[in-house]
Structure 1
Amino acid sequence: MMRALFLSACLLGLPSLAAAVPPIGDFFRYVEFRDIRISPDGKHLAATVPDEDTQALVVFTRENRKVTGVARFEDDREVASFEWASSKRLAFTMNDRLGSLVRPMTRGELLFMDVNGKDRAAYAGGNRASQLTHPLPEDQDHVVVTDYLPSTRREEADVVLYKVNAKTAQGRVLAYSPVPNAFFLVDNEGNPRVASGVRGYNQGEVHYYNAESKEWKLIHEQAKSEQDMYPVRMHPDGVRFYAMITHASGTNGAYLVSPSGETQLIARDEVSDPTTPVYSTDGNELIAIDFLAAEPRRVYVDPTHPDSKLLAGLEKAFPGQWVNLTSSTLDGSLVVFLVRSDRNPGEFYLFNRKTGQATYLAARSQWIKPEQMGVMKAISYTARDGVRIHGWLTLPPGVKEAKGLPLIVNPHGGPYGPYDAWGFQRDVQLLASRGYAVLQPNFRGSGGFGRPFERMGYRQWGGTMQDDVTDATLWAIEQGIADKDRICLYGGSYGAYASLMGVAKEPDLYQCAMGFVGVYDLDMMYRRGDIRERDSGVDYLEEVLGRSKEDLTKGSPAQQVASIKVPLMIVAGAKDRRTPPAQSELLVKNLKEAGKGNLVEEFYVEKGEGHGFYKVENNVKLYSKMLAFFDRHIGSGKAKADPAP
């Protein structure tokens, strides 16, 4: 079974037999290769692949693709992620598929095995969650692991750094974190250097370890500096470290930080935050910084580095796509890289530095045909109060000029921190494949554009954040992109809130709205859901929502149903702890009591699903109903069946 699955995924050069319009199920099938990584000696490749109802780890030879070992579990566990601990041994973490929630949950379990799938050893698990922090290329017998231990203090985790023998899974303590909920940075020898954690809401701390005195020194406090510091990697000198730091005005920056906390700017963009550090293949040096919230761009910190030159060359070889180096041999002669785009979920290649040749390995979703996908374009517009808002417009495949199109406005979830970025998005591409333009505004409150921009959205649920969504819609009409009589809203989580609030505040602007796993009553967020279960969560709600009963009512779609007059589709997950189905049930109840129950054309709660659907069949059901809903109101209106899933 496994071998057949693996070999079928590696077939190359097959002609496309796909229909002109891809089936709904193609957008939600589990990816065939989530990750592929090469061994330090270059003799093997390892990959995570789906196998029936689970995910397995497969090891195979590089030369002839012969499977040498498999980690597949017959119980309710599945492989989550993995790293090469040495040329002969892998370390991997586990997910748990137990319980009524269908989405796998992390187990905190770390296991080891040889390339032949044998000689397994287990480390941690149970109440102790473990994370592989750093492989040790120069010491292939050991890895560095971070353990998160249950604490008697509410919502805090004691964190301990261990050096673990990859053969026996036995560990010894390297350091105890001075701050709860922390993560560590270590040097190339595995010595602790930095601990960054939080004591509560807006109480982040960064500590630096003195190897001689074996003591931690506090070098940054968020509460005092009013800046966030996020350490990301040690500098090759083993003393300084790289970090992302927020600013009181404008965007965040990438910095080099000394043991005393002094900072040196590396890169900063006027529009968007630094999002992804790019490291050399040996993991030691920062070679570039990616800025992805607006028009994606890569700034090379060290353009003379051999890996910078390699990456720049690959970017030219794959124009219009994004390239990332994902793993390499210890000597750097063989490099695995990933190519992806707005229309390509991702393809893995192997580059040989000696020959200068790239060899195709596999695609994450080989059934997705880029030519059948829509092009995602960066857009920007000025909101009614003068704030510049950035976002994305995806056009239906083959559309060259965006004029008079049916439009779906798709605000993202969060709302604070997340943002829509360029790249393959399953639901957006599905809608585009059916002839809809999709508009995704990064309204104020979104991440990616600096802390001040994010804070502008605080206590603006239904206020200026919602106005930004409305202004995006009006912009699309003014530009002639959208047919003003064929516009609907659709979103998940906060995006569902914005969709329902949109038709409550602007009852004549939209023809319909779809809310998925949404929050519709702000006061209920204080009484139901997992955010209010933590003291810091309550502090967060009070800062971003406020406690004014009047404002909470005014900003709740469930309390503004009198203004809604367009058809609705509402869907929730029965096991959703972030936005429990009680949110959706209250909205529908209030609509019925207001004599507007007929507006709810579709409402159901999917059992076993949480905050977003996981099972392919549940997503096919959801989006089949959604497409029919949109078709009735802004589509062709004909009962034209979609291709079979």
Structure 2
Amino acid sequence: MPISTFLTAALLAATLLLPGRADTAPPPVQDFFDNAEFGGAILSPSGRYLAAKVTGAQGGRDRLAVLELATLDAKVVAAFADGDIGHFQWVSDNRLLFDSTDKDLAPGEVNAAPGLYAVDRDGKNFRALAERRGRFVRNGDSANLLPWHTYMLPQPGAQDSDSAYVRSVHFETGGAVLAIELLRLDTRTGRTTQVSEPGHVLHWVLDARGEPRMAITLENGKHTIWLLENDKWRAVTTFDGYVDSANGFEPLEFAADGRLYVAAQRKGDLRSVHVFDPATGKVGDTPVFSLQRHDFSGHLIQLRGKLAGIRYKGDSEDTVWLDPDMKALQAAIDEKLPGNVNLIEVPRRPETPFVLVTTYSDRQPKVFMLYNRDTGKFSQVGKSHPRILARQMGTQENVVYTARDGLPVPALLTLPAGASRTGKLPMVVLVHGGPWVRGTAWGWSADSQFLASRGYAVLEPEFRGSTGYGARHFGAGLKQWGLAMQDDVADGTRWAIAQGIADPERICIAGASYGGYATLMGLIRDPELYRCGVAWAGVADLRLMYGSWLHGSDFPKQYMRYGMPQLIGDLEKDAAQLTATSPVEQAARLRQPLLLAHGSADRRVPRAHGVRFRDAVGATNKQVEWVEYEDEGHGWTLPKNRFDFWTRVEKFLDRHIGTGAVK
């Protein structure tokens, strides 16, 4: 039976995506932080079928459905009574591989593994392949299933048979990944064949034929890249696993001729796309593709065995097409959807005129559409947040300011709808977690847009140590927690004041994980800048990060032994610095209002961080609010907890820097 609420053939007018006049009342918190109402879609290898994860009536379980594009007939092919469809991918044009999840459970309540399943595109020949329960709770037919720690491989492989490669993951005691075995799995019989391995592999790379060709291991803090030749593994290069190295590179994808495209830093400060020659074992000096201001991050797009395009993240996501037909297609779609990022997904071996388009902007959450190249028409597939209206959202721009030592610091600035860039607005400085990641890129964000909808400017600095901006920017952050990294955040705040963007009397600092740490240190080090702070799942005790018998985290043991001493500091050699930059040791200096939140089941930054700081700061500061979410992990999984937290944030900010603040 066709599922009219899931997929429609109605033409999506481009005007629906364009901003208009802002409404008076801001959207409710639920519109921002509810689960996405559409879980994504994937074209089959031929492009004849579309698989999608769809939500049942009245917010029910997520199900797996398939649409036949020629007839627009849709059918639910898999569903669970006690769970939701999780990840899914095409094994071939006729068969799908998928796992399960449970969106109604917080991490501390989960007692099941994802499992592994396969089904034909017509819903027939369903087969359970791996246990959904762990050893502590067994299935009745577990003897015929792969163990619970069998997972999908996030590479689709050849997609031309009933077989696929899957991962058998081995974990350390704390939950970190120790090693990943690769298995070739027949999705009809359940039989597997193990792939030979050169050591404790953490990452596998399939070649253009969908066969294992490269592996990356981690031993004693060093990554080694291995190449499979004539059924034997050969070490290509070894480099430091945690700090950028001239010998290192990131495998991207094999071409049909056997060459490998990699991301590497060769000449200059930035990582670019280069070609690795397996015959010589060397990375070419001349880049295939490079960006002016960003390290390359993204993937390659191959069509019919040839490199057709490169998807990358610059100021925003974008695609450079090498194939002339795809270049023309991108231009046609961009003309129909101006001002948006329009990402085109093409089937592996296209036999139809259909492509899948994901379109979004700073004001428009992601919308998924089919585009017919023959007719030039769109058909809407789904919207991630259909209740969000672009006309009510704020505007976002990429900015750069200069830190006190001259380092350029990129940032994202979001302003409320209709606000002036020199309006002296109340502002929230939102610090990203990681910290060794890129914080964000231009596009709709629930956190920043929710704050903007409440009248706040939002500044998101990419402080030193953030990745994606070159080796110098990353390296400048080594051992700079609470020092130069913190200065970058403060310098961004002062820049916003000097630009007339922010009212100096109404600024709050906020963030999660490392962002929570930076919030606490910002309030301690720069009390004149910040009137209040919001920290959730935040690091408060640097020494506790290195592990303890009572409050261990899920950080890998090698990271704690080899990575953290280089990135954050050595427990013995840098003991004085770690004490001086640990918020729990400086808690008495924090006098501003503070909202603290933590999950009771957080394994990345254990609850002890929040409790220790709450107790320490509470001795001298009576303006501290504490909320703990039972069974939540490193962030809020359940919508009800997201609603509660952001409602608390809204009220907290309003009291201290918003319309309810005492003048």
Partner of 1:571: 597
- 1:99-178 to 2 correspondence within 5 Å? 101=107, 107=113, 109-125=115-131, 126-132=147-153, 134-135=155-156, 139-149=160-170, 157-173=178-194, 175-178=195-198
Partner of 1:642: none
CA distance in 1 between partners of 2:628 and 2:658 (Å): 25
Q: Is 1:313 paired with 2:337?
A: no
Partner of 1:643: none
Partner of 1:32: 37
- 1:544-563 to 2 correspondence within 5 Å? 544-546=567-569, 547=571, 548-563=574-589
Instruction: From 354, 371, 379, give the equivalent of 2:391.
Output: 371
Tell me the amino acid that sits aligned with residue 274 of structure 1. Answer: F
Partner of 1:74: 81
What displacement does 1:90 show? Answer: 1.1
Partner of 2:354: 334
Cα deviation per residue 1:143-196 (whole Å; 9 max; x = unaligned)? Answer: 3334335699996645444433333333334x3221323333223433332222
Please tell me whether the aligned partners of residues 156 and 181 of structure 1 are also in contact (alpha carbons under 8 angstroms): no
Please tell me whether the aligned partners of residues 94 and 106 of structure 1 are also in contact (alpha carbons under 8 angstroms): no
What displacement does 1:25 show? Answer: 0.6
CA distance in 2 between partners of 1:533 and 1:232 (Å): 24
Runs of at least 5 residues in structure 1 that lack an aligned partner in the other structure:
640-645
Tell me the amino acid that sits aligned with residue 63 of structure 2. Answer: A
SS of residue paired to 1:579: coil
Q: Is 1:585 paired with 2:611?
A: yes
Cα deviation per residue 1:230-273 (whole Å; 9 max; x = unaligned)? Answer: 11211121x11111124596121111111132223212223211
What displacement does 1:348 show? Answer: 1.2
Please tell me whether the aligned partners of residues 7 and 382 of structure 2 are also in contact (alpha carbons under 8 angstroms): no
| TM-score, scaled relative to structure 1 | 0.89
What displacement does 1:60 show? Answer: 3.1
Greater CA drift, 179-188 or 377-386: 179-188
Q: Is 1:270 paired with 2:277?
A: no
SS of residue paired to 1:366: coil
What displacement does 1:420 show? Answer: 2.2
Instruction: From 212, 218, 221, give the equivalent of 2:238.
Output: 221
What displacement does 1:553 show? Answer: 1.8
Please tell me whether the aligned partners of residues 418 and 447 of structure 1 are also in contact (alpha carbons under 8 angstroms): yes
Greater CA drift, 333-342 or 456-465: 333-342
Partner of 2:564: 541
CA distance in 2 between partners of 1:382 and 1:523 (Å): 31
Tell me the amino acid that sits aligned with residue 335 of structure 2. Answer: K
What displacement does 1:283 show? Answer: 7.5
Partner of 2:475: 455
CA distance in 2 between partners of 1:496 and 1:153 (Å): 23
- How many pairs align? 627
CA distance in 1 between partners of 2:89 and 2:461 (Å): 37
CA distance in 1 between partners of 2:27 and 2:505 (Å): 27
SS of residue paired to 1:458: coil
- 1:448-527 to 2 correspondence within 5 Å? 448-526=468-546, 527=548
SS of residue paired to 1:468: helix
CA distance in 2 between partners of 1:151 and 1:216 (Å): 25
SS of residue paired to 1:331: coil
Q: Is 1:599 paired with 2:623?
A: yes
| Bigger RCO (CA 8 Å, 6+ sep) | 2
Tell me the amino acid that sits aligned with residue 259 of structure 2. Answer: R
What displacement does 1:6 show? Answer: 3.3
Partner of 1:234: 254
Please tell me whether the aligned partners of residues 343 and 373 of structure 1 are also in contact (alpha carbons under 8 angstroms): yes
Please tell me whether the aligned partners of residues 72 and 78 of structure 1 are also in contact (alpha carbons under 8 angstroms): yes
Please tell me whether the aligned partners of residues 466 and 502 of structure 1 are also in contact (alpha carbons under 8 angstroms): yes
What displacement does 1:440 show? Answer: 0.5
Runs of at least 5 residues in structure 2 that lack an aligned partner in the other structure:
132-146
Instruction: From 407, 414, 422, give the equivalent of 2:427.
Output: 407
SS of residue paired to 1:560: helix
CA distance in 2 between partners of 1:232 and 1:46 (Å): 25
CA distance in 1 between partners of 2:112 and 2:413 (Å): 34
Residue identity over aligned pairs, in percent, reads 31
Cα deviation per residue 1:190-214 (whole Å; 9 max; x = unaligned)? Answer: 333222232243x11111111xx31
CA distance in 2 between partners of 1:369 and 1:57 (Å): 27
- 1:94–1:138: structure 2 CA closer, same or farther, 3 Å change rule? closer
CA distance in 1 between partners of 2:107 and 2:114 (Å): 18
- 1:228–1:123: structure 2 CA closer, same or farther, 3 Å change rule? farther
CA distance in 1 between partners of 2:322 and 2:77 (Å): 40
Tell me the amino acid that sits aligned with residue 171 of structure 1. Answer: T
Cα deviation per residue 1:19-76 (whole Å; 9 max; x = unaligned)? Answer: 741010110111121211233454432211234464321223335644323321123x
CA distance in 2 between partners of 1:153 and 1:32 (Å): 33
Cα deviation per residue 1:506-547 (whole Å; 9 max; x = unaligned)? Answer: 111111111111111212212334255624323322222222
Partner of 2:136: none
- 1:273-288 to 2 correspondence within 5 Å? 273-280=295-302, 285-288=307-310
Greater CA drift, 77-86 or 568-577: 77-86
Q: Is 1:258 paired with 2:291?
A: no
CA distance in 1 between partners of 2:103 and 2:393 (Å): 32
CA root-mean-square deviation: 3.2
Please tell me whether the aligned partners of residues 250 and 270 of structure 1 are also in contact (alpha carbons under 8 angstroms): no
Please tell me whether the aligned partners of residues 11 and 378 of structure 2 are also in contact (alpha carbons under 8 angstroms): no
CA distance in 2 between partners of 1:44 and 1:299 (Å): 24
CA distance in 1 between partners of 2:111 and 2:518 (Å): 28
Q: Is 1:347 paired with 2:347?
A: no
What displacement does 1:587 show? Answer: 1.3
Please tell me whether the aligned partners of residues 143 and 165 of structure 1 are also in contact (alpha carbons under 8 angstroms): yes
CA distance in 1 between partners of 2:578 and 2:239 (Å): 29
Please tell me whether the aligned partners of residues 92 and 159 of structure 2 are also in contact (alpha carbons under 8 angstroms): no
CA distance in 2 between partners of 1:180 and 1:42 (Å): 37
Tell me the amino acid that sits aligned with residue 631 of structure 2. Answer: G
- 1:288–1:39: structure 2 CA closer, same or farther, 3 Å change rule? closer
SS of residue paired to 2:491: helix
SS of residue paired to 2:431: coil
CA distance in 2 between partners of 1:8 and 1:358 (Å): 10
SS of residue paired to 2:98: strand
Instruction: From 259, 262, 274, give the equivalent of 1:243.
Output: 262
What displacement does 1:468 show? Answer: 0.2
- 1:436–1:64: structure 2 CA closer, same or farther, 3 Å change rule? farther
CA distance in 2 between partners of 1:44 and 1:184 (Å): 28
CA distance in 1 between partners of 2:475 and 2:69 (Å): 49
Greater CA drift, 239-248 or 58-67: 58-67
Partner of 2:418: 398
What displacement does 1:497 show? Answer: 0.9
Please tell me whether the aligned partners of residues 208 and 305 of structure 2 are also in contact (alpha carbons under 8 angstroms): no
Please tell me whether the aligned partners of residues 571 and 605 of structure 1 are also in contact (alpha carbons under 8 angstroms): yes
Q: Is 1:446 paired with 2:466?
A: yes
Partner of 2:135: none
Partner of 1:323: 342
- 1:158–1:583: structure 2 CA closer, same or farther, 3 Å change rule? closer
SS of residue paired to 1:185: strand
Tell me the amino acid that sits aligned with residue 620 of structure 1. Answer: F
CA distance in 2 between partners of 1:4 and 1:616 (Å): 26
What displacement does 1:466 show? Answer: 0.3
Greater CA drift, 342-351 or 125-134: 125-134
Greater CA drift, 513-522 or 547-556: 547-556
